[in-house]
Amino acid sequence: MPTSFTVVPVEAQGEERQRDGQQREEEDEGDERDRGTGDGIARESSPFINCAELGRRSMYEGKNMALFEEEMDSNPMVSSLLNKLANYTNLTQGVVEHEADEDSKRKEVKGPQMGTFIGVYLPCLQNILGVILFLRLTWIVGTAGVLESFIIVFMCCACTMLTAISMSAIATNGVVPAGGSYYMISRSLGPEFGGAVGLCFYLGTTFAGAMYILGTIEILLTYISPSAAIFKVADAGEETEAMLNNMRVYGTCIVILMAIVVFVGVKYVNKLALVFLACVILSIIAIYAGVIKTAFDPPDFPICLLGNRTLSKRSFDVCAKFTESNNETKTTPLWLLFCDSSLLNATCDDYFSLNNVTEIQGIPGITSGVLTDNLWSAYSEKGSIVEKKDQPSIAGSEESKMGGLPYVFTDIMTYFTMLVGIYFPSVTGIMAGSNRSGDLKDAQKSIPTGTILAISTTSFIYLSCIVLFGACIEGVILRDKFGEAVNGNLVVGTLAWPSPWVIVIGSFFSTCGAGLQSLTGAPRLLQAIARDGIVPFIQIFGHGKANGEPTWALLLTVGICEIGILIASLDSVAPILSMFFLMCYMFVNLACAVQTLLRTPNWRPRFKYYHWTLSFVGMSLCLALMFICSWYYALIAMLIAGCIYKYIEYRGAEKEWGDGIRGLSLNAARYALLRVEDGPPHTKNWRPQLLVLLNLDNEQLVKHPRLLSFTSQLKAGKGLTIVGSVLQGIYLDKCTETHKAEENVKALMGVEKTKGFCQIVVSPNFRDGISYLIQSAGLGGMKHNTVLMAWPQSWKKAENRFSWKNFVDTVRETTSAQQALLVAKNIDLFPTNQERFTEGNIDVWWIVHDGGMLMLLPFLLRQHKVWRKCKMRIFTVAQMDDNSIQMKKDLQMFLYHLRLNAQVEVVEMFENDISAFTYEKTLMMEQRSQMLKQMQLSKNEREREAQLIHDKNTASRSAPAVEASVAAAVPEKVQMTWTKEKFVAEKHKNKDSNVSGFKDIFNMKPNQSNVRRMHTAVKLNGVVLNKSQHAQLVLLNMPGPPKNRKGDENYMEFLEVLTEGLDRVLLVRGSGREVITIYS
């Protein structure tokens, strides 16, 4: 197996670990050119962003909006744009080996190891040459004609041959353990398809057992021992009902007997199979011998016709109306069936009186030319009389009393598609060998060889029998399903040599053997599905006896088989089997086609005579045959398979089998990603594709689960969601924690129903990890455009002195990446997915226009059940020179064009003097910031001094000769040896410097720019509190960080003041492009 390696120099790893702390701090305090500020980025051309004629700084020099003044060039004030927003226009946007691992956990079971001939060829031959050949093939030939019958058989045989080719390719692509066809489908198409089709195929195999048993009972009670019937026919017309009841009773007894035989052991079934198959082969030889004999000595099976109508000879023996004996005319038993007395002047049936009784040979022979009469179809309605073509007939005047007359009637309505459904089960034995793959010595060799050889043999037998039956047997006999015109003999038996009993006994044992094979294969199939554990409620059926025999599965199989027995009609059960088998064959072909087209590296079948076009034709033929047989049965079978598929998918079939559907999904995803333009989508297609930044605690658990709740409420399963987090450290050391964190995040995503992907990054420091996620999360055109994070609540605490710096850097980096930013403040107060707001408002405070994010987010939130009943209110701020009435009208018109329902309110916020409170708050903020800087500076000095001492001591212990040179290199101001006097002097020195520094802090005056910003924050906070204190959610424009990095900590204070007193706040910072449009 080829393996990829990445070589990392050891020295490089060591160097990386050493430059973790000090270099990072120097970068933070270094030149501003080393890292982008996030401002001044060229943004997308828009009617409202970067608009030169409206970007005049003179409009924003007042004190009220000083907090946003640095962004006015790119994000103009709403008040100055509303007249254009009302007539909104938008520019077009640029255009490990899992199977070996699982098998090792399974209990090793030693069973009989069979070869190709006994293990595959004979079971397939026995299943294929089952009940249909002996009981229904002659009737199909007579009803559909030789030509249409040939088409039916050829279609079905072609379908099974193509399926066998596909199956051979899959079976030789690795080891095939127990489960056969189920194993091949599930490992090729995945657990969902495998489980669904496997269970359907199991049902089909079980019902096949019922069909073979019903065939056995039909042969027993119709042809071998009619007197054995428990339910006797009392009145005419009750024959069908009595027959069905007899089949139910006898069928139940036989299925119990067969279950006991199977329970004893599969080796006994195999031994019995040899006996049964010998009977089948003798029967087929007898048929061919009989055909040859008809060429020079046809058998004597006369048929009695009244006009052109076939008569049933069960009630009479002489085919004549009357006989001459001693010059005396006597009526026959046939006369009494049509007349009211035995007298010659009796009142008789009108048709009987007008037509003559004739007798013809039922089997004229292969040289008689009867083939030309049997070429064409003779479909009929239910209850119609079997009539001979081209026979003279005079229609009677009254046709109302035919029910009790000894005619041969058709028991069901016949048509082409119905015959396909009845015939197809006769070719479904092709999986008999693969179902028992666990008992084979070399499944990869035996399954292809045995299956294809068996299909070739049986296809020749079926096709030749169709032609020979049509060439040897009279058409009315062929259409006589139960042989009533030939004294109740099996029709195909009349053709056999030396005796019809060869066929009767052979077919009886053939159907018995096929039933045993079905009851042997079906429980093993169910056991294989149960042991895989993909369908939880059937796992009990994976257990069995100590030698591996599936006892529980056998009991369920017998129970389902009994349902088929209770249906009791072979013609009703056959189409049900056809659906399940055809569905299985269709997916076998699909699996081979998918694997061949994907060209996966593991697809290396030893069987070389396959091609994806053959598999595709086979799949299409299976689907066509399903709907040809019965469109409603086909839909029901697909519905059952679909329900099982969705159930397995819902319960989470956590199996990775390297299946073809997964490969197909990957190929489709790759194709779709290549088709998606790696650029911004059109405004109409824009939706927030979220990168959610989570914080984890020491146990790798999510600190704020409500952030994922809010994500699912905002996304509702649409678009892209990437949930990311950062672990601080080195990946080699944090590998276990990374996997644990990923599992915890995915589990929480499942609980919160957040559809998306999880990505955990390990980085030497937290800030760089966030940067990596913002830069590299996503793939191709599927990248995030919006970052969602929680507000750092503890940014003021001493132990979290860097949290505010990480936060501000994240704001700058999202701006540099032209991504929107959503910051949820007080996230733990946000609602869960189970909560419902019955009333309240979602308030939008629209200060500056940055693409329409503030308009779009409430609309998306209100699609979710949590926020559905909340009303949307939009507030904007008017300055001294603004016409607030006109602003309100323009905003209402804009919302009308956007098709958004919201209340509109314009808040007037006039300039006034800066209050003493604002001045004092700004002063306190700057003093605190200065104190933190000095404390940090003194700490850094102490750390550097301690490091120098540590280096000195380490060097002195390791090499005394080096000590002098190191001491000489140390600056004089650093004291390497401490005395009491030096310690006191140094202490007073530091104390004096600290005292003078603190005096400077208390004597400082606040920066006027900061005063104006604080004034904006205080004023705006007061207005927002007045209007929106009780709102369920407040959305607010988030001002950008200052271009001068020295004021970052002040920026956090401004945001804190701006949102003070509000429960739930979502600070929104646009990406710099339009995200909402009025156009369709």
pLDDT tens-digit profile of 571-588? 888 888 888 889 888 988
* Residue type present at position 510: S
Beta carbons of 125 and 454 less than 8 angstroms apart: yes
Give strand pairing partners of 878: 908
Q: Can you give the pLDDT at residue 467?
A: 93
- CA angle, 257 as apex, 253 and 262 as ends, to 5°? 145
User: Distance between CA atoms of 15 and 17, rounded to whole angstroms?
Assistant: 5
Beta carbons of 85 and 891 less than 8 angstroms apart: yes
CA distances from 699 to 319, 599, 727, 738, 860 (A): 97, 43, 11, 11, 34
Q: Residue 503 contacts by C-beta under 8 Å, 6 or more apart in sequence?
A: 134, 283, 286, 287, 490, 492, 493, 496
User: Distance between CA atoms of 754 and 746, rounded to whole angstroms?
Assistant: 9
E strands, 979-1050, in order: 1033-1037
Per residue in 258-293, pLDDT tens? 888 888 877 777 677 778 888 888 999 999 999 999
CA distances from 710 to 571, 836, 989 (A): 59, 13, 54
User: Distance between CA atoms of 283 and 776, rounded to whole angstroms?
Assistant: 73
Low-confidence ranges of the chain (pLDDT < 70): 1-65, 69-76, 79-112, 175-181, 234-238, 270, 397-403, 432, 435-438, 547, 652-664, 677-680, 682, 684-685, 716-717, 797-802, 910-1009, 1047, 1078-1080
User: Distance between CA atoms of 664 and 799, rounded to whole angstroms?
Assistant: 51
**Buried-state track 168-193, b at ≥16 Cβ within 10 A, e below 16:** bbbbbbbebbbbbbbbbbbbbbbbbb
Q: Can you give the pLDDT at residue 106?
A: 46
User: Distance between CA atoms of 950 and 955, rounded to whole angstroms?
Assistant: 9
- Would you state the structure tokens that stand for residue 659, as one six-digit string? 């299946």
CA dihedral in degrees (446, 447, 452, 457; nearest 10)?
A: 70
Coil, helix or strand at residue 772: helix
User: Distance between CA atoms of 350 and 587, rounded to whole angstroms?
Assistant: 58
User: Distance between CA atoms of 266 and 597, rounded to whole angstroms?
Assistant: 39
Radius of gyration of the chain (CA): 44
Beta carbons of 491 and 477 less than 8 angstroms apart: yes
Q: Residue 666 contacts by C-beta under 8 Å, 6 or more apart in sequence?
A: none
- Residue found by looking up tokens 């109508």 in the block: 309
- Would you state the structure tokens that stand for residue 501, as one six-digit string? 């009993």
User: Distance between CA atoms of 436 and 431, rounded to whole angstroms?
Assistant: 9
Backbone angles phi, psi at 854, to 5 degrees: -65, -30
Q: Residue 786 contacts by C-beta under 8 Å, 6 or more apart in sequence?
A: 688, 689, 690, 691, 819, 820, 821, 822, 1071
- Residue found by looking up tokens 């969705």 in the block: 646
User: Distance between CA atoms of 163 and 924, rounded to whole angstroms?
Assistant: 83
Q: Can you give the pLDDT at residue 612?
A: 92
E strands, 611-680, in order: none
* Stated pTM of the model: 0.64
How far is CA 890 from its chain centroid? 49
Element (H, E) at 296: none
CA distances from 677 to 682, 757, 1073 (A): 11, 21, 17
Q: Residue 549 contacts by C-beta under 8 Å, 6 or more apart in sequence?
A: 263, 265, 266
User: Distance between CA atoms of 124 and 521, rounded to whole angstroms?
Assistant: 12
